[in-house]
């Protein structure tokens, strides 16, 4: 039962006090009075809404990390205030990617190869991961493959289930269209450690690299893309069906790869940066 459902249950006309009802529902009184019921300003409510959205994107982040995100975005909220607002919203950090990273103990795990590695060219390292997209009724899942150097999305698939097939389909397409990388990095999720997936990498003589357990930052490039995808598309359009997600995300990735200029790439698009480097390497 979420915060807002609990609040709807509480009645001021009940035979027991609001305080007692909050205790029964394990709901703090500050949470019950959220959204201006005790005089929160519009600025405070906007800050809490931003914190809630940041948490929904990365529910493993605590108040310190969320404070840093707000600071970089120039949102004027102190660290202690972020902690207070998270308590009001009943937000507590959880283990990274709980919904998408499910390891299989029987599958072979591979060492992380990117630590201290200088990535200097396109197709040197590709990275892949899965993120969830919330729908009014359930979830769907986005699996993307990104070129680490150019930030270009090489291939992707969207599925309503966390099976291995949609991951292998994206991988096969990426190799067929773009050749192959030297190294392919993923987390230790069962889709990526499965024989179906790793055998494709082995057959193409691609080195397999996997994040250390609990080290989501080891795959930071694809994580940053997920943040961009959600903030610049998913959260704005709030798709209601799988069909809408597929159509909307396809348009966004076309924009991201071919039209959106990146400051970190010298204000050219990922596709331009990717192909420019391949031409340079070929020469």
Q: What is the CATH number of the domain that holds 179?
A: 3.30.420.10
- In a domain, residue 109? The reply is no
pLDDT tens, N- to C-terminus, the chain (283 residues): 444 444 444 444 445 565 555 555 455 545 555 444 455 788 888 888 888 888 877 766 788 888 888 887 778 888 888 888 888 887 876 543 444 555 556 678 899 999 889 999 999 999 999 999 988 888 899 999 999 999 999 999 999 988 899 999 999 999 999 999 999 999 988 899 999 999 999 999 999 999 876 555 667 899 899 999 998 999 999 999 999 999 999 999 999 999 999 888 999 999 999 999 888 766 5
Do 263 and 156 belong together in one domain?
yes
Closest to 184 in 3D by CA, of 141, 127, 239: 127
Do 131 and 78 belong together in one domain?
no
Domain end among 67, 88, 109 = 88
- In a domain, residue 116? The reply is no
- In a domain, residue 272? The reply is yes
pTM of the model: 0.65
pLDDT given at position 97: 41
pLDDT given at position 101: 53
> What's the start-to-end Cα distance of the chain, in Å?
60
Do 22 and 159 belong together in one domain?
no
Burial class (CB in 10 A: 0-12, 13-18, 19+), 124: middle
Q: Give the model confidence (pLDDT) of 40-76 as tens digits.
A: 788 888 888 888 888 877 766 788 888 888 887 778 8
Domain end among 40, 72, 88 = 88
- In a domain, residue 96? The reply is no
Quick check: helix, strand or coil at residue 20?
Answer: helix
Note down the domain range covering 57.
3-88
pLDDT given at position 205: 97
pLDDT given at position 76: 83
Question: Distances in Å between the alpha carbon of 6 and those of 13, 35, 56, 137?
Answer: 16, 14, 19, 20
Do 74 and 180 belong together in one domain?
no
Do 70 and 152 belong together in one domain?
no
pLDDT given at position 92: 73
Q: What angle do CA 99, 270, 164 make, to 5 degrees?
A: 30
Do 75 and 180 belong together in one domain?
no
Domain total for the chain? 2
pLDDT given at position 37: 45
Specify whether the CB–CB gap between 175 and 87 falls below 8 A: no
Do 18 and 136 belong together in one domain?
no
Do 153 and 270 belong together in one domain?
yes
Do 139 and 277 belong together in one domain?
yes
- In a domain, residue 106? The reply is no
- In a domain, residue 101? The reply is no
Closest to 183 in 3D by CA, of 123, 104, 246: 123
Do 169 and 221 belong together in one domain?
yes
pLDDT given at position 66: 87
* Strand residue runs (E) in the chain: 125-135, 138-147, 153-159, 183-186, 207-210
Residue 50: phi and psi, rounded to 5, are -65, -45
- In a domain, residue 118? The reply is no
- In a domain, residue 113? The reply is no
Do 143 and 267 belong together in one domain?
yes
Do 150 and 275 belong together in one domain?
yes
**Alpha-carbon distance 233 to 231, whole Å?**
6
């Amino acid at each position: 039962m979420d915060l807002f459902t609990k609040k709807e249950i509480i009645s001021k006309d009940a035979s027991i006090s609001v305080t007692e009802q909050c205790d029964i529902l394990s709901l703090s009184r500050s949470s019950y009075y959220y959204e201006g019921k005790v005089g929160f300003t519009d600025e405070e409510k906007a800050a809490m809404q931003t914190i809630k959205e940041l948490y929904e994107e990365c529910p493993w982040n605590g108040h310190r990390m969320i404070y840093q995100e707000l600071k970089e975005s120039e949102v004027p909220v102190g660290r202690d205030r972020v902690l207070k607002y998270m308590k009001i919203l009943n937000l507590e950090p959880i283990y990274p990617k709980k919904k998408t990273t499910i390891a299989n103990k029987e599958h072979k795990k591979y060492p992380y190869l990117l630590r201290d590695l200088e990535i200097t060219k396109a197709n040197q390292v590709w990275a892949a991961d899965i993120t969830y997209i919330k729908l009014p009724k359930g979830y769907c899942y986005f699996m993307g493959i990104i070129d680490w150097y150019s930030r270009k999305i090489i291939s992707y698939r969207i599925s309503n289930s966390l099976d291995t097939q949609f991951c292998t389909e994206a991988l096969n397409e990426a190799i067929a269209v773009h050749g192959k990388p030297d190294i392919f990095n993923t987390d230790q999720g069962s889709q990526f450690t499965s024989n179906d997936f790793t055998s494709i990498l082995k057959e193409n003589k691609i080195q397999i690299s996997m994040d250390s357990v609990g080290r989501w930052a080891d795959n930071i490039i694809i994580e940053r893309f997920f943040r961009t995808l959600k903030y610049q598309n998913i959260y704005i359009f709030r798709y209601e069906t799988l069909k809408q997600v597929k159509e909307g995300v396809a348009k966004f990735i076309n924009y991201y790869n071919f039209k959106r200029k990146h400051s970190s790439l010298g204000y050219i698009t990922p596709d331009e940066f990717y192909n420019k480097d391949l031409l340079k390497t070929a020469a």
